[in-house]
Chains A and B, each alone.
Chain A
Amino acid sequence: MSEIVLKTEGLTKHYGGVHALQDANFELKMGEHVAIMGDNGAGKSTFVRQITGVERRTRGKILFYGKEVNFDGPLDAREAGIEAVFQNLALADDLDVPDNLFLGREIIKFNLGPFSILDYKAMRKATQEALVRTAVKIPNIRNPIRNMSGGQRQCVAIARTATFHSKLTIMDEPTAALGVQETAQVENIVRTLKEAGEPLILISHNMRQVMDLCDRIVVFRRGRIVANLKKEETDGQDVVAYITGAKTQPEYEGAA
C-alpha cells in the first residue's frame, strides 16, 4: 500500500504577478484519502487545476504513479486516470444522466470520426450499473440534469468518477452547495470509494467532514503548503491555527 499515486515537486503557478501557487511538494499514497484545506485564495483550486491539466503550471514536476506527466488538457489527465469533480459541477444542464456521464468519451457503435454513431443502450446500461454501485438514487436518468436537485447533480458528477475506475479522484468542495441529507449522500459515496481503496483528494471547508472522511490534511496558505497533518495527531483547532497563519509546521517555516 505504500506505492505513491501522486507526487508533485516544486509545483508553481503564477498568474502574471500573482503567485497563486509556490513550490508545492505533495504526496498521495495508494488508497489514501487526503484533504486539502485553506482559506479562500490559498491556492487549493489552483493546485488541483495544475494536476488535472486544466491549466499549465509555471514550473515544477508532477509524478503520477512514479512517471512524470505533462497533461495537455483535462482529457489527457482523464485518460491517464485522474477524475475531477469541480466546484461548478461541469455538467451540461440540457443533457440527461448517461449523456453527462459519458460526455467527451461516448461509447460508439460505428466510428465515423466526429459523426460516429452513439451507442445509447450501452451507455444507459453502464450508467445504471454505476448508480447502483455508488448507491446514487435518481428518479429518472433520462431527465435532463436541469430538473434535478443540487444533491442529485452532485451525485451524477461523482458517479461519473466511479464509472470509469479512476486511478485518482479529486473533489473540489463537493458538498459546498448541498443540504444536510444530500451532503450525507455524497459522503457515503466517498466512503464507498475508501472501501474500494481508491485514492482521493478532497478540497473542503467543512472540518467535520474532513475529520470524518480523510486520513491526512494538507493546509495551504497564500499559495504555499504550510502543514501536513495526520488525522490522529491533530484536531480542529490545530488545523484552524494553520489555516489562519497562527501556526506553521517547522519544515515549511522557510516557505511561509
Chain B
Amino acid sequence: MAETAHGVGGLKYDHSKRARPPEINVLIALVLIVLVFEALGALLMDQSFLFDTRGRFDSIFNEARLKIIILQVAIIGIIALGVTQVIITGGIDLSSGSIVGATAMIAMSFAQVAEVNGSPNPKAIFGPWAMDLPVTVPILVGLACGVIAGGINGALIAYTKIPPFIATLGMMVSARGVAKWWSKGNPISFPTDEYAAIGAGMTPVFIFIFLAILFHFILKYTVYGKHTYAIGSNEAAARMSGINVARHLVLVYTIAGVLAALAAVVLSAKNLTAQSGMGIMYELDAIAMAVIGGVSLSGGRGSIIGTCLGALIFGVIISGFTFLRLDAFYQEMVKGAIIVGAVVLDQWRQQRNASKS
C-alpha cells in the first residue's frame, strides 16, 4: 500500500493529521483561570467563585456571578464580533469605541420621551417631532451611523490604500468629536420604555449570543467568510483569484461599524442615558478579546468561537478581581499583561508552525 502511505489525491482523511483547533487552547486557558480564582477564593475568601456554596440558588452554580460575568462582556463582545472580522482580514479597527459614543448620542436623541413625570423632558435635543417615536426609528438611525462610519473606514482603507491603523485612528478622533458636538457635551436621557427594554436585564446577552451565532455561521459557511480569511491570509492571492478585495474590505469595515453601532444602542438603552464619553477604550477591550481568543493580528486566522471564549476570559478576570475584592487598578494591570501574553503566544505558535514546514 505504498500509495496510500502518501495518500492518493486526498482520498484519505486522516484524523490524526488534523491540527488541533486553536480554540481548544483558549478554552483550556479559560478553565485554568477559573480554577485559579476558585483556589484563591477557597484560600482567601473562604467561598467558591462559580459554585453556589451557600444554597442561595436552585442550581449548583452561583447564578448571580455567572450572569454578571457574561452581562458585563456582552456589549463589548458585540463590538468584538466585528473587530474579529476586521483583524482576520489583516486590518485593525481603532474607531469602534468612538463610534459607540457618537451612535449612542445620535440614536438616543431619537428615543426620548416627551414628558418626564408630567413636565417636559429636560434633556430634550429636538422639538416635539422627535419625541415618543417608535423604537425602530432610533435603532435604524443608530445602524445608519454605523454604516456611515464603518463605510468611510472601509472606503479609506480600500481605495486610498492607507493603513487601517491610520484610517480608523482618524475615525476614532473624528467620531468622538461628533459625539461631543452633537449635544454640546450634554448628556441625553429619558428614553422610551421600548428603547430601554433593549438594554434591560439579560437582553444584551441574548443579542450578543444571537449575533455571535449568526456571524459564526457567516464566517464559516458563506462566500463572505471564505473571502475574509483569504484576504487576511494572502491579499495578492485573493486579488489574483478574482476576489474584489476593495469591495470586500468596505463590507467588512461596514459590518464592524454596524456592530459597534448596535453595541451603542444596547449600551445607551441599558444605561438609560447617552454621554459623549461613552465607549472610551472599548475598541482596545474588543481587540483584546479577539486576540486573547486566538485571532491572529497578522490576519487569516481566528474565529468567532475564539473571540467569545476570549470575551469570557475577560469577564471571568473582571469578576474574579471583584470577587477577591481587589482594586480596579490591578484589573487593568493584569488585563494589559494578558493581552501582551496572548500576542506573544500567537507569535510563538506561528514561529513553531513555520519551522515545522
Residue B242 interfacial (CB < 8 Å): yes
Q: Is the interface of A mostly helix, strand, loop or mixed?
A: loop
Contacts of A141 in B (CB 8 A): 10
Residues 200 to 250 of chain B near chain A (Cβ within 8 Å): 218, 221-224, 226-227, 229-230, 232-234, 236-243, 248
Q: Does A115 contact B13, Cβ atoms closer than 8 Å?
A: no
Which B10-32 residues have C-beta < 8 A from chain A? 10-14, 17-19
Q: How far is the CA of A147 from the CA of B229 in the complex (A)?
A: 16
Interface assignment of B251: CB less than 8 Å from any CB of chain A: yes
Chain A residues positioned under 8 Å from B224 (CB to CB): 114-115
- Residues on B with C-beta less than 8 A from A116 are 222-223
Tell me whether A137 is interfacial, beta carbon within 8 Å: yes
Report chain A residues within 8 Å CB of B239.
74
Binding stretch for chain A, among B1-9, B156-164, B339-347: B1-9
Inter-subunit contact B14/A92 (CB<8 Å): no
Assembled-state Cα–Cα distance A84/B8 (Å): 25
CA gap between A26 and B285 in the complex, in Å: 58
Query: A50-101: which residues lie under 8 A (CB-CB) from chain B?
Result: 54, 73-75, 78, 84, 86, 88-95, 97, 99
Structural contact, B238 and A92, CB atoms closer than 8 A: yes
A104 interface contact, C-beta 8 A: yes
Number of A interface residues in the complex (CB < 8 A):
47
Q: How large is the interface on B (under 10, 10 to 19, 20 to 34, 35 or more residues)?
A: 35 or more
| Chain B residues with CB below 8 A from A78, complex form | 242
Residue B229 contacts which of A92, A131, A148 (CB distance < 8 angstroms)?
A: A92
A106 to B241, CA, bound (A): 11
**Residues A132 and B357 in contact, CB atoms below 8 Å apart:** no
B15 closest partner in A (C-beta): A140
**Further 19 A-B residue pairs, CB within 8 A, beyond A99-B230, A112-B222:** A89-B237, A90-B236, A97-B10, A99-B226, A104-B242, A104-B243, A105-B242, A108-B223, A114-B222, A114-B223, A114-B224, A114-B251, A115-B222, A131-B9, A139-B7, A139-B10, A140-B18, A143-B17, A147-B356
B residues bordering A, Cβ < 8 Å?
3, 6-14, 17-19, 218, 221-224, 226-227, 229-230, 232-234, 236-243, 248, 251, 300-301, 353, 356-357
Q: 29 A-B contacts, Cβ less than 8 Å apart? A: A74-B239, A74-B242, A75-B242, A86-B240, A88-B236, A89-B237, A90-B237, A90-B240, A92-B230, A94-B229, A95-B230, A103-B238, A104-B238, A104-B243, A105-B241, A106-B223, A108-B223, A114-B227, A114-B251, A115-B223, A115-B224, A118-B222, A131-B8, A131-B10, A137-B6, A139-B6, A139-B10, A140-B14, A140-B17
